[in-house]
Amino acid sequence: MKSPRPSSPPRLKLTPLERRSSIALAMLFAARMLGLFLLTPIFAVAAVTLVGGDDPVRVGLALGAYGLTQAVMQIPLGMASDRYGRRPVIVFGMVLFVLGGIICALTNDVDWVTVGRVIQGLGAVSAAITAWIADATRPEVRTRAMAMVGGSIGISFALSLVLSPLLVGQFGLSGLFWAISLLGFVCLLIAMFFVPNVPKSEADIIQATAHDVLAQKDLLRLNFGVFCLHFILMALFMVAPGLLGRLGDFETATLWQVYLPVILVSFVLMVPAVFYTETRKVHKAALELSVLGLALVLGALPWLDGSLALVVAALIGFFVFFNILEALQPSLVSRVAPPAYKGLALGFYNTAQSLGVFAGGLLGGILVQSSGPNMVFWVCAMMAVVWLYTARGFKDIRGDR
């Protein structure tokens, strides 16, 4: 008589409430990120139509002001979402986002664009959105829900590369800002009417302090990790457009033909890895292997710049690991942080992310100007190696934690 074959672990499923909440929040996050990304590929060129738009410093300030105010406000609004609820904070943030976009759309002066971008950045709701996802899902399936949000970042970025030149060409820079404001209004409607109510925790509200979060080494490691991840992303995209243009004769208007399939293919390849991580509860191993993968891809890129096919393959690999980490790390923050200050912890996390975006773009540009594109790859690879060293300090991360 044959012995019975060992049964595979049962596949975890999202409950109807978890599915509805995750889809609605991912849509909210995707629309908001698309609104943010739309300006990035085209503003430096389109700003010449504005008064003061011929001054690179003022143009750079207008573009970067959003990230800086985001970094300042993530923690206060994360704390507010712990105390007053996720929905009111997100609605407040999206009202500021829409208001700032309208100011930008109505002006023809780059300094007023800076003012509008500052107001948009004050509505820093990333921490509240990710905390809401954590509230609405069980730990066993949370990474899958976070994957929807993580994937939305890459897809929104790819869509922005397609839509941004088309919108500016058809409606001008003002039309682009009206489109950004419209996306903010869509987010406002989703937050108000489409995200289901999540049962409130019966735990007492505790006024946590920054010390409560900073005292936890695992949270510091995750904050450093997201800083590195978005530093690397922005620095890489200081180099990738020029590299692809040189190897494949692409112009700014046609780069989407590379970016869009790269993002979509990498997202498809990322999904099995997320499912495996959840069912086998190997979150720590997935984190370490993904960071190692980033280091290897970045370290290989300086040797691949003679072949378009190899560079595209490397970019697909990069975004496979990027999407895994983008889904995995917020989920780990929500497990490490006690429920009483989950929003505050995610506020620190998103602050580190915003600082990584700002620092990666700035230092990436400096490195390209002073030492060439390959130095960007080497610095990013070394940063990934340092990140891997810190990530190995986790003592135990389990999916059921």
Q: Judge whether 334 and 342 are in contact, CB under 8 Å.
A: yes
Q: What is the pLDDT of residue 208?
A: 60
Q: What is the pLDDT of residue 300?
A: 93
Q: Judge whether 191 and 94 are in contact, CB under 8 Å.
A: yes
Angstrom CA distances, 390 to 15, 73, 145, 217, 227, stand at 35, 27, 26, 10, 13
Half-sphere exposure of 18 (CA within 13 A, CB side): 17
CATH number of the domain encompassing residue 31: 1.20.1250.20
400 within domain boundaries = no
Distance of CA 103 to the CA centre of its chain: 25
102 within domain boundaries = yes
202 within domain boundaries = no
- The total of structural domains in the chain comes to 1
Q: What is the pLDDT of residue 70?
A: 84
- DSSP SS3 for 199: coil
51-84 burial, b at 16+ Cβ within 10 Å, e below that, comes to: ebbeeeebbbbbbbbbbbbbbebbbebbbbbbee
104 within domain boundaries = yes
79 within domain boundaries = yes
DSSP conformation letters of 248-299: H---GGGTHHHHHHHHHHHHHHHHHHHHHHHHHT-HHHHHHHHHHHHHHHHH
205 within domain boundaries = no
> Could you tell me how many residues make up the chain?
401
Q: What is the pLDDT of residue 209?
A: 67
Radius of gyration of the chain (CA): 21
Query: In this structure, what DSSP letter does residue 194 have?
Result: I
Query: In this structure, what DSSP letter does residue 337 have?
Result: S
361 within domain boundaries = yes
pLDDT tens, per residue, the chain with 401 residues: 444 544 444 556 778 888 888 888 888 888 888 887 788 767 766 777 888 877 766 776 777 778 778 888 877 887 888 888 889 999 999 999 999 999 999 999 989 998 998 898 888 888 788 788 878 888 777 767 776 776 677 677 778 877 887 888 788 889 989 999 999 999 899 989 988 887 554 444 445 666 777 778 888 899 999 999 988 987 787 777 778 878 888 776 677 788 778 878 887 888 888 778 777 778 888 889 999 999 999 999 998 877 889 999 999 999 889 888 887 887 787 777 776 677 677 778 878 888 887 777 777 777 877 888 889 899 999 999 999 999 887 765 554 44
3 within domain boundaries = no
Select from 239, 227, 235 the least CA-distant residue to 362.
235
Q: What is the pLDDT of residue 314?
A: 92
Domain range enclosing 37: 18-195+212-391
